[in-house]
Structure 1
Amino acid sequence: MTEEKKNRTLPPEALAEWTRAASERLGIDPAEVSIPLILDLARDVAHGVARPAAPLTAFLAGLSAGRKGGSPADVEAAVGEIVALAKSWSPT
């Protein structure tokens, strides 16, 4: 692994700090962000569909939740729908 690639890896203890900074930059209350929920979404999609689908799907879930109002319940519902789809995914 190149030195540049190593430097781009976020240490686990910095995840909350990064989430806070990114949320504030985007005008989101960091308290409304469930890190475990989003990481579980990414894991389930990466394992059930494909790794590259994880960030795309996280974006789609966020977009869907935002269009429905953006409440924590909207986020949980969108993530729940996607996780269910990923767990049953069988490409045609």
Structure 2
Amino acid sequence: MNVLEEWTALVCRELGVDPAQVDRDALLDLTKDVAHGVARPAAPLTAYVLGLAQGAGTAPADAVERVTELARNWERATTEMLGDA
């Protein structure tokens, strides 16, 4: 078991989360895309907001994919949003 696996298991146990529910690779890919496509500080913030949405049951099933796509298209999305204003 590597450090990341050990940390994930420990945090899950501490917070009462089933580790099988944590898609570590998808979450790491998401935060990488956000950090590189949007801004570094946006990565942990995005992960937190995603966790809140999932915990509240409001996150769509494809939430990680949708947010990843937003990050990958950040420049275009902000241009379109500002153009609508």
User: What is the TM-score of this pair, normalised by structure 2?
Assistant: 0.79
Aligned to 1:14: 3
Could you tell me which amino acid in structure 2 is paired with residue 89 of structure 1? W
Judge conservation of contact 1:62–1:78 (CA < 8 Å) in 2: no
Structure 1 residue 89 corresponds to structure 2 residue 74: yes
41, 51, 64: which one aligns with 1:52: 41
Give 1:63 deviation, angstroms: 1.0
Preserved contact between residue 64 and residue 78 of structure 1 (Cα < 8 Å): no
TM-superposed deviation, 1:82: 0.8
Whether the 8 Å CA contact 1:45–1:54 is kept in 2: the answer is yes
Aligned residue number for residue 63 of structure 1: 52
1 CA distance for matches of 2:55 and 2:10? 19
- Structure 1, unpaired ranges of 5+: 1-12
Identity of aligned residues (%): 47
What TM-score does the superposition give when structure 1 sets the normalisation length? 0.74
RMSD: 1.8
Offset, 1:69? 6.6
Other-structure match for 2:14: 25
Quick one: which of 29, 44, 63 aligns to 1:78? 63
Three-state SS of the structure 1 residue aligned to 2:16 is coil
Q: Give the unaligned 5+ runs of structure 2.
A: none
Corresponding pairs, count: 76
Instruction: Confirm whether residue 36 of structure 1 aligns to residue 25 of structure 2.
Output: yes
Runs of 4+ in 1 over 6 A off after TM superposition: none
